[in-house]
Structure 1
Amino acid sequence: MRTADPGAFVGRAPELSELSRSLVSGVPVVVSGLGGVGKTALARRAAAAALDAGAFTRVLFVDLHGYAPGGGVRAADLFAPLLRVLGLPHGDIPAERSEQASVYPDYLHHLAGTGERVLLVLDNAASRDQVRDVLPPPPHQAVITSRDTLFVDGAARVPLPVLPLADAHAVLGEHPDLADVALACGRLPLALRVAAALLDADPDLTPAALAAELRAAPTSALTYGDLDVGTVFATAHRGLLARGQDTAAQLLVDLAHAPGDSHGLGAAAALLGCAPPAAVHVLRALEQAHLAQKAAGRWSLHDLVRRYFTEHSPEDPDATARLLHHYGQELFERTGQLQTASAEALSWFDAEAPTLVAVFRRAAALGSPDFPAAALGMGQFFYLRHLPDERVELLRAAVAATEDPVVRATLRVDLGNALLDAREHHAAAEEFRAVLAHLPDDPHAPHWERMAWSGLVTATTRAGDADGAAHARAGLAAHAERAAEVSGDDVLTMSRQAMALLDTGEHTAAETLLLRVLAEQAGPTWSRAVTLLTLSTCRQLRGDHAAATTTAEEGLAIARALGDDKLTGRLLVNLALSATLEQRWSRADALRAEVRAILDRADDSPDLDEVRAALAGVDELRARR
């Protein structure tokens, strides 16, 4: 198909405006960005506009070839050619370069006196040394383009990112499928030019087919004639090595192979095997070469850069192992904070979640020993954020990856609950049965047994398996009788006893144990909020609605601080039930409305089915009264 003119200049209004303002202010401008991002085109466009506006009488364009083998054109070699182009007679140009360097600014001052104003565009500069001595004196001006962040004295800097999607699409044309091609090209202008050339050369090639090809093919497919995206990236890597930045060159490769699209300072330090302060300097080298971008304290590579170095440079397995261990340790430390009202922990998980999912997939594939136990913390985060499908995928991989019977039992209980949240009731029942069939010899086994029987009751009931539900209820009752006979003062044992007593209708004894559990649970933790929910239910069953309300309100404050909608909804339903039973109708209706608002925000999330069912029961009771 015929595309739009790929050489046409599209977009860049903010950068053009900034460049124009700098030219008017009389300071040189450095335009920097990733190779192929369109620096030269921007400089040419700005120079033409300035010439048309009468800001300059002429524009000189010099390609310094700074990234070519050998280092490109030296400043000392530019004086004679520039003087000739500026109009100095050949016989007046000294033979010695040092004398040419003296004549050059003098002649520019002479031209200024005659009303001339020259704009010098120095393209593809690799270092300050290439441009420093040829910068023209005022009122003349210079625009410098570079793939590196050059710090030229007194110069304004205009960093150039990839194109916005709308502009990248417009570069290719109006066909709607061309937006997918633009995305596959990473919105990089050089890659867009290659894609346009490929489409123009093959009338049978559709935009959809090309987009699919570019996503599946190696980056070497982004080549047409002398347009080659890979060469630009390879040149950038050689540049790091030529400047003695070998560690930065290695980190570039390590980041390309690292699972996930962005990483924090700690992850970069783990890849390098160094302390975070040392890693900062290496990351800055990649930033200044526009090979890595920093945003919100995280570093990422352009997608095409990442793919290129993944394809062309081998992975360092030691670096990857260090990275996986780093995330495993970090996750272990942060998981404990999820039990408390820690906004910092939730913020960390929110920022890291996409990367952590990729890390877990790589860890599972490699059989990393840090993976299964760490999956419990990530599963808890997915629960708090109502992402049941992600939680199921993660926990299934973790179950498959561990041989430890204790870890497997814990993971399987969590997986069963996650499958319930995802409405996969038959699969949930199978997981709970697997827990019961393979209970390990461990002090926690009674806890897992109760969780498995309780989960199996829910799973079989929701699946419509009446016989299975009856069997599960009988199993739960038998377990409750055994658990009621267990003695002990630790929190886990007391919690198990209390739940067993509730299951058998011994509410007063259950309340006594729950109060002992609360005495051991310091701070606004998730576990304390769950205990308060259970105690509130216990007090409702005893008919003490005032105490049930006070208990639920304490738990509600913790649940809200944690951002746990499911736990918040359960506690609000408990409060609404107490208010209904006490005939405080306005209070009950307000609480029910608050629960509905949570359910509406959740957009039919299966994670809140338990809250929906509980609210339906309160609604029915309210209607009868």
Structure 2
Amino acid sequence: MAYQRVNFAVLGSVQVFLEGAPIHLRGKPRAVLATLLLNANTVISRDGLVAALWDEPPTTAVANIQTHVWQLRRAIPGGDQIVRTEGSGYLLRAEPDQLDALIFSDVAREGRLAVQRGELTVAERAFGRAVALWRGRPAEDLVLGEVLTPRIAELEEELYQARSDWIDVRLALGQHDQLIGELRKIADAHPLRERLWGQLMLALHRAGRRGEALDAYRRVRTVLVEELGVEPGEDLRRLHANLLADQPSAPSAPAPATAQHEPAEPDTTTTWHHICQLPADLADFVGRSAELTTITTVLRGRDPAVSAPVIVALSGAPGLGKSTLAIHLAHLLRPAFPDGQLYVRLGAASPAPRDPWRILGELLRALGVDGNAIPDTLEERATLYRSRLADREILIILDDAAEEAQVSPLLPGTARGAVLVTSRAQLALPGAQAILLDVPDDDDAVELLERVAGQARVRAEPTAAASILRACGRLPLAIRIAGARLSARPAWPLSDLAARLEDTRRRLDELALGQQTVRANFAVSYDALTDVARRMFRLLGLCGLESVPEWAAAALLGESREVTDRALETLVVAGLVNGPEACAAGGLRYRLHDLLRAFAREQAEAEESEARRRAILLGLVRESLDRVAAAVTDLPLPCAPTPGAGESRPTAGRGDSEWLMEERGNMVAVVELAAALDRPALACELAYHLTAYLRIHGFFDQATRIHDAVIAAATRLEHTPSILTTRLMRADLMVERGMFGDALPEFASLLELFERRGDRHSAAYALSGLGICRHMSADFEEALDRTTEAVDRFEELGDHGGLLSTLIHLTSIHLELGHHDQAAEVCHRGLELARGCRTAYPRAILLRALGITHYSKGEVPEAIRRYEESLELSRRHGYPIITTMTERRLGEALGAVGRFDEAVRTLTRCQRSFARFGDMYGESLTAYALGEVAFRRRRSPEALRHLTHALDVLGVKEMQHWRARVLREIGRVHADLGDPDAAAAAWNEALAIFHSFDSAEAAEVSAFLDTLRQMPAG
């Protein structure tokens, strides 16, 4: 296939072009695209997308995001390559010439380089091309969450800078006359931008309009004084003075105000005696502004009424830069502690942490105590130390502390001193302010890499730089090592290092430079652990889960909950594990940094035999299977026979959807783990139970992911039963997603395979699925035959779950064929069968179907009653998709009995819900129902608007039978509006579709057309 060029535009309305032709996107998929375009070539987490799309996200937001991304990929040729899944987020990959925002940045950069070379004409053209790319505010045609406001403001600031640079160039080229009008307009729109006013003043003066130039200065000064209470900046004042002297200089932008993170330097004329033991500060220190502010506030905000010293305990995992932060902060705070700064490295990261007795001896000598006067005992030394520090404003840095007992003797006794302790462990020091350090944010991580490796190199390869930072997990130590390796090899492309770091097995090998390695830094803490804590750490890395709940940790360790808890607590105290975090469904969970997880896995592979590792992981898989099987007891199982592995233990009691919601990501990973362990039958059984939850809650991407993993493993090992069962589940998922064209040949193929193997049970499910697909393609007689055959076979096999599911489908087919009595009979039969069912799901659907039956027979009040019974069940048991589908039917019925306001409220709520689910079919049917209600109220223009929207959402290829019905109603509305030509066009198109299906509804449309032809002209 020839390569097709896709281009994007976000500087204004959001646009997509395929070889120059527009691709039209609607709704949330378009908002997802806008968010990704605004952050092109950068990974956006699912949470970030949720925040961008909704200020108040629905509970199904993550599932909706997955659906919207799927729709986006389907709409754009090559969408799977353009919009990629990266970990738990998404990345839109755009080439520099593929997106207007990237083109703008590149062309503006060309302009600035041309200025540096003195090529002003070239610069003028470049800046002009860059500014011309802007058609309005970024993504101006969409309502996006406030989380994107900073990014949009950043782009607009880049536009302002480029436009200002362009104006400077044009002024230098003598274009002052042409610029005056443009500058007045921009300055009025941005009255606080002093650089713009300076350019306007210069242009006016050069045009011989000196009085207007001076008036412009008076205007900007008035605005600044009244709005901000400040005088114009030095540059503007100097230009004004030159204008008064009739000697204007070239304009220059006022220097930007920068945040003052550091306290003012001390007055060097003041003499004060102090001791300073601080190591040198890092010249390339970046970020940590929040921590700097917090710790500075605590250490400088000593309360005179409090007699105890101020203590801050800074803790965190190895490699986070705790020591660097403490030293940098101590240098900043020197003026606040004029008596001095003591610094002691306590050596927790060494094989033998330092003895406080020896440390006190060193400190006392530093404080002027003669060596002969230093006492022998620890207690006496601590007493003398406190007396020397009494009432002195001194800051003490105790770096890399091992435990509380090592720190306590080194604390001062009076309030004027302050102490900053760093430790990998979370120390419990009385009265201390505990601060837990985490990895820096994305911007700080990028800046750190730029400082070490070189800003130009990093900015020249932003995608590779992002990949390096992702591999480093934003750990400062790892970033510094990666940056130092790049710095040592100036010609080495960042993409080469990024490619090396992609290999997780070799990542720690690459993050090493001389004696400085991430691995060695981690090993110090690991070696200091107890045996059981070391083993717990190894196994946490072995399982590969991003977050590990208590029950999973216990399953891995194979010990009691008490032993497991103590081991986890030891790891938390050592700074090797983050947590604990409270689980919404109860219990606690723990997390490892990505690099620590890689290190832990290395230790597991080195210290645990392969057979032992396999047994441990299979134990986790089986424990997960038991828990998932127990959690889905209230949910309908997938439309496939239960897999025959039989490894899950039977359970009793109610299901636990809340637990599954929280552990969903882990359970998907465990299915993939079982597949990787070459246990396809076990993986298939776990996937079967997990699919029950994923399917009903709309997590279709994850369901597809586990099905693909099982099929790949089963194919590799030629385990045919697992392949066929999983294909059956996957085909059923296609039906749930409305992919009937894809599902039909898959069900047909599976039916042939099952019949050939003599597997009548699985064949019954394939028959049922085939019936659904025939139904949705309007082949109702074939659908009836297949579904009836499936019903008979499920009865013969005694499979009540399969029978109930198929009876629900049979009801729908009878309704399409106008067999209202048969449909009602099937509903009652199903409801009787559902009495003994473990889940309320089929009863909720059958009550809804019974309501549809009554509605079709004109028994609307009884239909409303049945819908309300169905809603009570689906709301109580948490079936959001079924709830919305039933509310749509209820809104339709309310409109039919003249309860129009209730109907509109109900249907409007449904339309929003379907949009959140990413269910375009449901959204279209709801718009159709709203059109019906509006037509009943004699509001034809409103009805036409809703019906046209229904047609747009439905599209031109899918669900042709429903498309014809919408066209039929559109024709009726046009006829009511007195537009016979439009009515005839809609009805003729509907008639052609109905005839293609040999539908009885063609006769009704033919009658409409006959009536239209008999109407008098005009």
Q: Does 1:123 align with 2:438?
A: no
Task: Measure how far apart 1:423 and its partner are.
Answer: 5.8
- The residue identity in structure 1 corresponding to 2:409 is D
Q: Does 1:249 align with 2:534?
A: yes
Say if 2:885 and 2:922, in contact at 8 Å, map to a contact too: no
Q: Does 1:533 align with 2:848?
A: yes
Q: Structure 2: how far apart are the matches of 1:618 and 1:584?
A: 24
Corresponding residue of 1:466 = none
Corresponding residue of 1:72 = 353
Q: Structure 2: how far apart are the matches of 1:481 and 1:357?
A: 33
SS in 2 for 1:536: helix
- Measured at CA, do residues 409 and 65 of structure 1 come closer, stay the same or move farther in structure 2, by a change above 3 Å? closer
Q: Structure 2: how far apart are the matches of 1:147 and 1:498?
A: 60
Corresponding residue of 2:285 = 9
- Measured at CA, do residues 344 and 495 of structure 1 come closer, stay the same or move farther in structure 2, by a change above 3 Å? closer
Task: Measure how far apart 1:408 and its partner are.
Answer: 7.0
Corresponding residue of 1:448 = 765
Q: Does 1:199 align with 2:486?
A: yes
- Measured at CA, do residues 396 and 220 of structure 1 come closer, stay the same or move farther in structure 2, by a change above 3 Å? closer
SS in 2 for 1:268: helix
Say if 2:784 and 2:810, in contact at 8 Å, map to a contact too: no
Offset from partner CA, 1:196-230 (integer Å, 9 cap, x none): 21221122233444333323242121112332111
Q: Does 1:552 align with 2:867?
A: yes
Task: Measure how far apart 1:191 and its partner are.
Answer: 1.0
Q: Structure 2: how far apart are the matches of 1:202 and 1:491?
A: 65
Match among 372, 383, 393 for residue 105 of structure 1: 383
Corresponding residue of 1:211 = 498
Identity %: 25
Q: Does 1:57 align with 2:339?
A: yes
Q: Structure 1: how far apart are the matches of 2:908 and 2:576?
A: 51
Q: Structure 1: how far apart are the matches of 2:904 and 2:345?
A: 74
Say if 2:827 and 2:847, in contact at 8 Å, map to a contact too: no
Q: Structure 2: how far apart are the matches of 1:487 and 1:331?
A: 26
Q: Does 1:188 align with 2:475?
A: yes
Match among 357, 364, 367 for residue 86 of structure 1: 367
Q: Does 1:47 align with 2:338?
A: no
SS in 2 for 1:575: helix
- The residue identity in structure 1 corresponding to 2:743 is A
SS in 1 for 2:313: strand
SS in 2 for 1:255: helix
- Measured at CA, do residues 132 and 450 of structure 1 come closer, stay the same or move farther in structure 2, by a change above 3 Å? same
- Measured at CA, do residues 143 and 455 of structure 1 come closer, stay the same or move farther in structure 2, by a change above 3 Å? same
- Measured at CA, do residues 567 and 236 of structure 1 come closer, stay the same or move farther in structure 2, by a change above 3 Å? same
Corresponding residue of 1:167 = 444
Q: Does 1:157 align with 2:434?
A: yes
Question: Bigger shift: 201-210 or 187-196?
Answer: 201-210
Report the TM-score when normalising by structure 2: 0.53
Aligned pairs, number = 601
- Measured at CA, do residues 169 and 300 of structure 1 come closer, stay the same or move farther in structure 2, by a change above 3 Å? same
Q: Structure 2: how far apart are the matches of 1:398 and 1:458?
A: 30
- Measured at CA, do residues 66 and 365 of structure 1 come closer, stay the same or move farther in structure 2, by a change above 3 Å? closer
Report the TM-score when normalising by structure 1: 0.84
Q: Does 1:286 align with 2:571?
A: yes
SS in 1 for 2:632: helix
Task: Measure how far apart 1:7 and its partner are.
Answer: 5.0
Task: Measure how far apart 1:546 and its partner are.
Answer: 2.1
Say if 1:406 and 1:442, in contact at 8 Å, map to a contact too: no
Offset from partner CA, 1:316-343 (integer Å, 9 cap, x none): 2222111111111110011124459x99
Q: Structure 1: how far apart are the matches of 2:790 and 2:629?
A: 32
Question: Bigger shift: 80-89 or 496-505?
Answer: 496-505
Corresponding residue of 1:358 = 669
Corresponding residue of 1:229 = 518
SS in 2 for 1:137: coil
Corresponding residue of 2:597 = 306
Task: Measure how far apart 1:477 and its partner are.
Answer: 6.3
Question: Bigger shift: 319-328 or 14-23?
Answer: 14-23
Task: Measure how far apart 1:561 and its partner are.
Answer: 4.7
Q: Structure 1: how far apart are the matches of 2:427 and 2:489?
A: 41
Corresponding residue of 1:465 = none
Q: Structure 2: how far apart are the matches of 1:249 and 1:366?
A: 24
Q: Structure 2: how far apart are the matches of 1:516 and 1:8?
A: 74
Corresponding residue of 2:735 = 420
- Measured at CA, do residues 605 and 621 of structure 1 come closer, stay the same or move farther in structure 2, by a change above 3 Å? closer
Q: Does 1:457 align with 2:774?
A: yes
Task: Measure how far apart 1:238 and its partner are.
Answer: 0.2
- Measured at CA, do residues 214 and 50 of structure 1 come closer, stay the same or move farther in structure 2, by a change above 3 Å? same
SS in 1 for 2:633: helix
- The residue identity in structure 2 corresponding to 1:333 is A
Q: Structure 2: how far apart are the matches of 1:179 and 1:496?
A: 50
Question: Bigger shift: 201-210 or 396-405?
Answer: 396-405
Question: Bigger shift: 60-69 or 442-451?
Answer: 442-451
Match among 622, 625, 628 for residue 331 of structure 1: 628
Corresponding residue of 2:96 = none
- Measured at CA, do residues 34 and 445 of structure 1 come closer, stay the same or move farther in structure 2, by a change above 3 Å? closer
Q: Structure 1: how far apart are the matches of 2:368 and 2:428?
A: 31
Q: Structure 2: how far apart are the matches of 1:409 and 1:184?
A: 38
Q: Structure 1: how far apart are the matches of 2:686 and 2:551?
A: 17
Q: Structure 2: how far apart are the matches of 1:91 and 1:497?
A: 97
Question: Bigger shift: 549-558 or 610-619?
Answer: 610-619
Offset from partner CA, 1:149-204 (integer Å, 9 cap, x none): 22234433222222122222222236344444333211111112112212211222
Corresponding residue of 2:616 = 319
Say if 1:382 and 1:388, in contact at 8 Å, map to a contact too: yes
Say if 2:687 and 2:707, in contact at 8 Å, map to a contact too: yes
Say if 1:514 and 1:535, in contact at 8 Å, map to a contact too: no
Q: Structure 1: how far apart are the matches of 2:797 and 2:622?
A: 39
Q: Structure 1: how far apart are the matches of 2:620 and 2:921?
A: 34
- Measured at CA, do residues 192 and 49 of structure 1 come closer, stay the same or move farther in structure 2, by a change above 3 Å? same
Corresponding residue of 2:683 = 371
Task: Measure how far apart 1:268 and its partner are.
Answer: 0.7
Say if 1:293 and 1:299, in contact at 8 Å, map to a contact too: yes
Task: Measure how far apart 1:551 and its partner are.
Answer: 1.1
Say if 2:827 and 2:846, in contact at 8 Å, map to a contact too: no
Match among 367, 376, 384 for residue 696 of structure 2: 384
Q: Structure 2: how far apart are the matches of 1:557 and 1:447?
A: 32
Q: Does 1:29 align with 2:339?
A: no
Task: Measure how far apart 1:239 and its partner are.
Answer: 0.9
Match among 872, 876, 889 for residue 574 of structure 1: 889
Q: Structure 2: how far apart are the matches of 1:383 and 1:491?
A: 16
Corresponding residue of 1:148 = 425
Show the 5 A alignment for 1:389-408: 389-398=701-710
- The residue identity in structure 1 corresponding to 2:435 is V
- Measured at CA, do residues 58 and 498 of structure 1 come closer, stay the same or move farther in structure 2, by a change above 3 Å? closer
Q: Structure 2: how far apart are the matches of 1:404 and 1:562?
A: 37
Task: Measure how far apart 1:577 and its partner are.
Answer: 4.1
- Measured at CA, do residues 543 and 194 of structure 1 come closer, stay the same or move farther in structure 2, by a change above 3 Å? same
Task: Tell which structure's C-alpha radius of gyration is larger.
Answer: 2
Corresponding residue of 2:659 = 348
- Measured at CA, do residues 581 and 485 of structure 1 come closer, stay the same or move farther in structure 2, by a change above 3 Å? farther
Task: Measure how far apart 1:418 and its partner are.
Answer: 1.2
- Measured at CA, do residues 30 and 573 of structure 1 come closer, stay the same or move farther in structure 2, by a change above 3 Å? closer
Q: Does 1:509 align with 2:792?
A: no
Say if 1:125 and 1:146, in contact at 8 Å, map to a contact too: yes
- Measured at CA, do residues 261 and 200 of structure 1 come closer, stay the same or move farther in structure 2, by a change above 3 Å? same
For the aligned residue pairs, the C-alpha RMSD in angstroms reads 3.8
Q: Does 1:137 align with 2:413?
A: yes
Q: Structure 2: how far apart are the matches of 1:480 and 1:190?
A: 63
> Which ranges of structure 2 fall in alignment gaps of 5 or more residues?
1-280, 304-308, 583-587, 638-652, 927-953, 974-1018
- Measured at CA, do residues 489 and 298 of structure 1 come closer, stay the same or move farther in structure 2, by a change above 3 Å? closer
Offset from partner CA, 1:232-256 (integer Å, 9 cap, x none): 111111010xxxx211111111111
Task: Measure how far apart 1:11 and its partner are.
Answer: 2.5
SS in 1 for 2:420: strand
Say if 1:6 and 1:192, in contact at 8 Å, map to a contact too: no
